[in-house]
Structure 1
Amino acid sequence: MTSGNGAGEARDDPYFYFRHLAVSLFPNDVRLGLNLGLFRTFAIPQIAKTLASTGKMAQFPRARAKATGAMMYTLIRDGLDGPSGSDTIRALNRLHNGLSAQDHHFTYVLSAFCVTPMEWMQRNGVRGPSGNEKDSSYAFYADLARRMHMKNVPESYEALASWMTDYESHNFSTSPEGAELYMATRGLLSARLPSFLRVFGPRFTDALLDPSLRKALGVEDPGIATRLTLRTILEVRRRKHLRLSS
């Protein structure tokens, strides 16, 4: 299944708008949002403990993140039911079957990957996601959840986003594993920053986290100067995009 932009394909493919967003329109924003979604899972102590128990995320963060990203983008680009998608889902099921996690942990990971990129774009992207893009993202992740035998997934994008907010309010907490995982993977997000900002990478990465996430991961406030600089850069980028697209 390939991406396109025709109205017919959008009618026939429930993932069309999300795929077009992630592959063609704003791939860097979606990838950055997925990274931030991964960081959010570290703030749930049981999930962090499960991830840390394998040793792979902390010891080989770049290889692990690259493998996870490759899996997700195989599913986004090629669909869930083709040969590549089916093979990838089987691999994900094998991986998840070996983890000591409960259904709500898997639902939270799903919500983090579905909702966080959309919220990043809404708050910091060159434009916010449309309703069609949010619904298409939800359709993709909800269908993935069914193929991974996940239960009790909220029934719409809005319901999933609301569930995620409530879950975080009750479950975000510090843990040694969460802090370790964040420090091991922090540099991966820094590498996505523009080249002239990479020297400040770790501080700018910390500034991308909201206060509740920084607190749960034991991350110090990067300071108002860093946060304002980042905000200015994002605003300049947004205005440049608006000027070029007008």
Structure 2
Amino acid sequence: MPWTTEEQQEAQAVYREMALTHFPGDVKLGLNLGFYRTFAVPSIARVLAGTGKLTRQPRIRAKATGELMYTLIEHGLDTGEGEAAVQKLIRLHSGLAVSNEDFVYVLAAFCITPIHWIDTHSWRQTTQAEKSATHTFYSLLAERMGITDVPESFEEFTTWMDAFEVRIFRSTAEGHSLVTATRSLLSDRMPRLLSPLADGIFTCLLGERLRNTFELPRPGLLVRGLVSAALRGRRFRMRRARTHGPSSRAAAPAA
């Protein structure tokens, strides 16, 4: 889909504001959850586990990936910093036994998972402008990386992603090894008091489709109730802070 230079810049600005100002914690968590979804794709899990980098040094690898993504978000795709980050992504992924469809799915996971998390658990839902800007950002990234056949709207991308997961998600030894190696990236952020429940909370955050794919035990009723109550309380506190706090004006929804 062709975009004018002005449309590209506007979309990146809307996505940047959403990710860095309106929903900073939600987007970061959503990107992490999106990354976990890629472990359920056998071909992607095979490549990620095969390099050994993510299983041996999960924190270092996750930090490096996050820094690249946030360089693109903060600086834009067409600045010097952004272009360098895109070229590094291309080098890192060149020669890997991953199909174009798999690369489209990775972009879908990063594009759609944070939006779904925000719409379900954050202080307000995203606007249509924010959804469209997010889709445009990842479509532009796809163009620059030579990835083709990205669906042409956020809604079409969401439908495509769901159908892909139903068709492709499978339990594999590689996927299990990646989940085991990286689960501490989320569980270590939990308060020490909740450490005995960390595995169950982690599984709740992954959601039912990933839990079933990875064949993880369903968390008990106590843990599910605790997570649900904590997320509702978090949403209430965030809404109250946005409504009554000094940042309420800056946090108004994008038009």
- Equivalent pairs counted in the alignment come to 238
8 A Cα contact 1:214 1:221, kept in partner: yes
Percent identity among equivalent residues? 42
Task: State the AA in 2 paired with 1:41.
Answer: T
1:101 paired with 2:103, answer no
1:143 paired with 2:140, answer yes
Match of 1:17 among 14, 24, 28: 14
- Give the root-mean-square deviation of aligned CA atoms: 1.7
8 A Cα contact 2:197 2:223, kept in partner: no
Q: Which residue of 2 aligns with 1:116?
A: 113
**Ranges in structure 1 where 5+ consecutive residues have no aligned partner:** 1-8
Q: Which residue of 1 aligns with 2:63?
A: 66
Distance in 2 (alpha carbons) for counterparts of 1:39 and 1:29:
15
Moved more, 187-196 or 144-153: 187-196
CA deviation profile, 1:83-127 (whole Å, cap 9, x unmatched): 111111111101111211111000000000000000011112222
The alignment's TM-score, normalised by the length of structure 1, stands at 0.92
The alignment's TM-score, normalised by the length of structure 2, stands at 0.89
Moved more, 187-196 or 83-92: 187-196
Task: State the AA in 2 paired with 1:79.
Answer: G
1:194 Cα offset (Å): 5.1
What is the correspondence of 1:156-235 to structure 2 with a 5 Å cutoff? Answer: 156-193=153-190, 196-198=193-195, 200-235=197-232
**Ranges in structure 2 where 5+ consecutive residues have no aligned partner:** 1-5, 244-255
What's the secondary structure of 2:11's corresponding residue?
coil
8 A Cα contact 1:10 1:16, kept in partner: no
Moved more, 25-34 or 236-245: 236-245
What's the secondary structure of 2:27's corresponding residue?
helix
What's the secondary structure of 1:81's corresponding residue?
coil
Moved over 4 A (4+): 9-12
Q: Which residue of 2 aligns with 1:134?
A: 131
Distance in 1 (alpha carbons) for counterparts of 2:36 and 2:185:
11
Distance in 1 (alpha carbons) for counterparts of 2:20 and 2:7:
15
Q: Which residue of 1 aligns with 2:251?
A: none
Moved more, 39-48 or 187-196: 187-196
